[in-house]
Amino acid sequence: MTASMDNVGERAAHQAAQPVPHPASLHETAPAEASKTAHVSGQQHPIGMYLKIWGYLFVLSTMSYLVDYFHVEGVLRWTLILVFMLLKAGLIVAVFMHMAWERLALMYAILVPPLCLGTLVLLMTIESNYTFWTRIIFFGKGP
Amino acid sequence: MTATPMTATPLTETADSAPATQGLRSLAADWSSDQEVFKQVHWGKAMMWVFLLSDTFVFSCFLTSYMTVRSSTTVPWPNPSEVFALTIGGRPIPLILIAIMTFVLISSSGTMAMAVNFAYRRDRLKTTLLMIATAAFGATFVGMQAFEWTKLIVEEGVRPWGNPMGAPQFGSCFFMITGFHGLHVSIGVIYLLTIASKVARGHYEKKGNYEVVEIAGLYWHFVDLVWVFIFALFYLW
């Protein structure tokens, strides 16, 4: 996993490579500096990475728009829309929100609970199917 | 309280239990450990994530109820591709306004990600400017949404209880979902401008801790994330 890359050696290397921007008073800045590097080690990425992800998001959005523009219909349409949606969501959460560099404890705490929404969707699909056929049978083409 | 005891613990923690920081073992170790589960995570960041998780469920409930009413109605659902078309140069272009709104919001996410990056490098000027750019994109988005709502209400006659194009549930779903999202964007703009002005005034220079910018960024990216789902499930479906 990507999280395992923030090991001690790397963090130490990062800290060593950090320039100290405020050498005003050592007593003042030392703890702050430590807190900065301790939290931040995973968050020091080159700007190019963000621009690349930005580009990917643009391309994926354009592609999902083109699905509508060229009137792709049926199962292919739904598959494409969902694939592009999930790819975009994944890129935003993993890179922009830095989830890929968080500790596993936080990753699991945030990403696992939404999985139970699948159960809700399944139940409501069954329910709406029931409502639909009730309407057809008892109201004809009712509201 | 200064940040000293907080930072001292995680550093020794990883040094002592280096093998435990890998894979599922680290997960088990963190969750079974004393006092603190989210080690090396700023409390504000953890709290923001928990809030975003709860907000995920709010939006999921909206989208699931939209799915339920759409698949249970016997009246045809209005075609979003036609409802949200704009006539540009005498030719209707399907969904063009929504596509532009999507690009605006994605761009705002990009500028926000870079603002977070510059904040950690303590580049206050770039951070402030990028955050203001993000807020400006957000305000543009809300403005376009206001235009879209006006067009839908005044010209198309869409109401929460009915519309001339088909299933009456279309209006209630649309106003509920996009309205709640627009509210999130508006709050985000205010939030970002607040943090940006504090960064500009050097409020965080004393402690040198720019985690607040990343926390604000988390909220903003979430707003973009929700739009990804609304765009796919409401407008494109």
pLDDT by residue (tens digit) across A54-102? 999 999 999 999 998 888 888 999 999 999 999 999 999 999 999 998 8
Distance from CA of B116 to the nearest CA of A (A): 9
pLDDT at B64 over 60: yes
φ, ψ for residue B207, nearest 5 deg: -90, -15
Asked if B218 contacts B211 with a C-beta cutoff of 8 angstroms, the reply is no
> How many CB pairs (< 8 A) connect A and B?
210
Verify that B134 and B84 share a domain, yes or no. yes
Mean pLDDT for B63-90 is 90
The reply to whether A64 touches chain B by the CB within 8 Å rule is yes
Residue A76 to residue A66: CA distance in whole angstroms:
13
Give how many domains chain B has, as a whole number: 2
The complex scores an ipTM of 0.85
Buried b vs exposed e over A62-85: b needs ≥16 C-beta within 10 Å?
eebbebbeeeeeeeebeebbeebb
Q: Is A16 exposed, middle or buried (0-12, 13-18, 19+ CB in 10 A)?
A: exposed
Residue B159 to residue B164: CA distance in whole angstroms:
9
Q: Cβ separation of A34 and B99 shorter than 8 Å?
A: no
CB contact residues (below 8 A), chain B span 102-141, against chain A = 102-103, 106-107, 109-110, 112-114, 116-117, 120-122
CB contact residues (below 8 A), chain B span 206-225, against chain A = 207-211, 214, 217-218, 221-222, 224-225
pLDDT at A35 over 60: no
- Can you tell me which residue has the tokens 């923690």? B13
CB contact residues (below 8 A), chain A span 6-35, against chain B = 7-8, 11, 21-22, 29, 31-35
Q: Which of B228, B229, B230, B231 to mutate to test the interface with A (most CBs of A within 10 A)?
A: B228
Verify that B230 and B199 share a domain, yes or no. yes
CATH number of domain containing B142: 1.20.120.80
Verify that B201 and B148 share a domain, yes or no. yes
In degrees to the nearest 10, what's the CA dihedral of B147, B224, B136, B186? 70
Which chain B residues touch A143 with a CB distance below 8 Å?
Answer: 73-75, 168
pLDDT at B116 over 90: yes
- Can you tell me which residue has the tokens 């280096």? B18
pLDDT at A34 over 80: no
Give the model's confidence band at B8: pLDDT under 50 very low, under 70 low, under 90 confident, else very high. Answer: very low
Q: Are strands B91-93 and B86-88 parallel, antiparallel or unpaired?
A: antiparallel
Domain residue limits at B227: 42-236
Residue B9 to residue B6: CA distance in whole angstroms:
6
Verify that B76 and B16 share a domain, yes or no. no
pLDDT given at position B2: 44
Distance from CA of B193 to the nearest CA of A (A): 19
Tell me the two tokens of residue B221. 């990216």
CB contact residues (below 8 A), chain B span 3-62, against chain A = 3-4, 6-7, 10-11, 14-15, 18, 21-24, 26-27, 30-31, 37-42, 46, 49-50, 52-53, 56-57, 60-61
| Contacts (Cβ under 8 Å, ≥6 apart) of B25 | B19
- Can you tell me which residue has the tokens 């680290």? B26
A-chain residue closest to B123, CA distance: A21
Distance from CA of A35 to the nearest CA of B (A): 6
Give the model's confidence band at B69: pLDDT under 50 very low, under 70 low, under 90 confident, else very high. Answer: very high
Mean pLDDT for B119-133 is 93
Verify that B32 and B48 share a domain, yes or no. no
Asked if B232 contacts A64 with a C-beta cutoff of 8 angstroms, the reply is yes
**Mean predicted lDDT score pLDDT of chain A:** 77
Verify that B16 and B96 share a domain, yes or no. no
The reply to whether A122 touches chain B by the CB within 8 Å rule is no
∠ at Cα B83 (B81, B89), nearest 5°? 85
Q: Is B190 exposed, middle or buried (0-12, 13-18, 19+ CB in 10 A)?
A: exposed
Verify that B21 and B56 share a domain, yes or no. no
Verify that B188 and B219 share a domain, yes or no. yes
Verify that B22 and B109 share a domain, yes or no. no
Which chain A residues touch B231 with a CB distance below 8 Å?
Answer: 61, 64, 85
| Contacts (Cβ under 8 Å, ≥6 apart) of B93 | B85, B86, B87
What percentage of residues in chain B have a pLDDT greater than 70? Answer: 91
Q: Cβ separation of A97 and B217 shorter than 8 Å?
A: yes
Q: Which of B62, B71, B72, B235 to mutate to test the interface with A (most CBs of A within 10 A)?
A: B72
Mean pLDDT for B164-177 is 92
| Contacts (Cβ under 8 Å, ≥6 apart) of B208 | A22, A29, A32, A33, A35, A36, B122
Verify that B14 and B107 share a domain, yes or no. no
3-state secondary structure B198-215: HHHCCCCCCCCCCHHHHH
Facing residue for B27 by CB, picked from A57, A104, A124: A104
Q: Which of B59, B132, B146 is nearest to B101 (CA)?
A: B146
Verify that B50 and B36 share a domain, yes or no. no
Verify that B88 and B19 share a domain, yes or no. no
Residue B186 to residue B192: CA distance in whole angstroms:
10
Residue B181 to residue B230: CA distance in whole angstroms:
9
Buried b vs exposed e over A110-132: b needs ≥16 C-beta within 10 Å?
beeeeeeeeebeeebeeebeebe
In degrees to the nearest 10, what's the CA dihedral of B52, B44, A5, A106? -50
